[in-house]
Amino acid sequence: MDAAPDDATGALRAPLRVGLIGYGLAGSVFHAPLLAATDGLVLDTVVTANPERRRQALAEHPGARTADSADALFARAGELDLIVVASPNRTHVPLARAALEAGLPVVVDKPLAATAAEAESLAALADSRGLLLSAFQNRRWDNDFRTVARLVSDGALGRVLRFESRFERWRPRPKGGWRESGDPAEVGGILYDLGSHLVDQALALFGPAATVYAEADVRRDSAEADDDTFIALTHTGGVRSHLWMSATASQLGPRFRVLGSTAGYVKYGLDPQEAALREGLRPGDGRAWGVEAESSWGRLGAGESPLTGGGEPVRTLPGDYPAYYAAIADALRTGGRPPVTATEAAAALRVLEAAKTSAAEGRTVRLEETR
């Protein structure tokens, strides 16, 4: 990537050099393409011990180099400006800590840690060294979530009473791997996988939760970790959030149903950005990014079913995953706040931990109990 002019002085500034740890799904489909599409950032090194993934990384990002281990990356800390941790969940905390101790800012794929205490410890280390630490919560930039946030902000629903949000899939047979492992050290299960997004979105919209109730089940034969989970939050401001995450949904519900005192909004389908990235499409390649067809727009109204044409269609705002790393680059340049803070990640983890307790003990958990 060519050097870019500094906004203040007009002088050329070198791009910020990024080391990416991990080139599985998260690294290859999400982080590397978004980093490569961000002005002011350049993918310098990809860490993977897998020979096939090394070849893939070099083919997809010819200007980058590869390394076999994170230690090899940290040994070159003076040549880098940012570390992105996109490796399995069990490695997030030790790798983030090692990067911070090497003097490097860090972005960590969600979840930042297994517990709020670990996240807070990392945040304290980053603060003590004056380094950026952020969790990659890309789904704050989903098209449908951006649209919901705008409707809430504009008062189009009146006073929001209930927020319903779903990430549901139909995967009757487990795929295996660490994400579905029952080993607590792997930090697997659908609660930490999809629930990390759902809880983060609810907190971003409606603020802290006061109470948490959850149900978690292992539905599929041979499954080890929760694959069908529900969380009910009561926010301190009074809004109730009902969040569903499932790999066993034989019929998919609406992605969002938001009920207010004057109107409701219902939206089906998923943001198109993940599918586009999986297909090899990239932001900035000349196509409209994150835009969906009018037939997929949600509907806003009162007293009528959207399934029978009730309510008015609402144009869905474009999805904007590139905004996350653009904001990271700006924060690194200016010393400003990252787009998702470690403190926010810790708050979401506190809810996830409370959900685990609630499901195991069959009771509602007050978050003040967990502090």
Q: E strand or H helix at 199, and its extent?
A: helix 195-206
Nearest-angstrom CA–CA distance, 203 and 349: 11
Supply the pLDDT for residue 3: 54
What distance, in Å, lies between the first and last C-alpha atoms of the chain? 45
Confidence at residue 10, expressed as pLDDT on a 0 to 100 scale: 44
**What CATH fold (topology level) applies to the domain 4-138+324-339?**
Rossmann fold (3.40.50)
For the chain, residues classed under CATH 3.40.50.720 are: 4-138+324-339
CB 218 within 8 A of CB 361: no
- For the stretch 161-219, pLDDT in tens is 999 999 999 999 988 888 888 889 999 999 999 999 999 999 999 999 999 999 999 99
CA–CA separation, 75 vs 103, rounded Å? Answer: 11
Q: What is the pLDDT of residue 256?
A: 98
The predicted structure's pLDDT at residue 12 = 56
CATH 3.30.360.10 residue spans of the chain: 141-319+351-365
Give the amino acid at 98: A
Give the whole-angstrom CA distance, residue 226 versus residue 299: 32
Confidence at residue 89, expressed as pLDDT on a 0 to 100 scale: 96
Judged on CB neighbours under 10 Å (0-12, 13-18, 19+), 233 is: buried
Residue 9 is predicted with a pLDDT of 46
Q: How far apart are CA 201 and CA 116, in angstroms?
A: 17
Return the pLDDT at 175: 86
Distances (CA, A) of 262 to 157, 163, 266, 267: 5, 14, 14, 17
CA distance 354 to 356: 5
What confidence tens digit (pLDDT) does each residue in 317-328 have? 999 999 999 999
Tokens linked to 346: 């810790």
Please, what's the b/e burial string for 344-361 (b: 16 or more CB within 10 A of its CB; e: otherwise)?
A: bbbbbbbbbbbbbebbee
The sheet carrying 298-301 orders its strands as 312-314, 298-301, 264-267, 256-260, 160-168, 240-246, 228-235, 209-217, 365-366
pLDDT at 176: 86
Q: Give the residues of the chain that fall short of pLDDT 50.
A: 1, 9-11
pTM, full prediction? 0.94
Distance CA 189, CA 90 (A): 13
pLDDT of 11: 46
Decide which of 3.30.70.3040, 3.40.50.12370, 3.30.360.10, 3.30.390.10 is the CATH code for 141-319+351-365: 3.30.360.10
User: Are 190 and 225 in contact, with CB atoms under 8 Å apart?
Assistant: yes
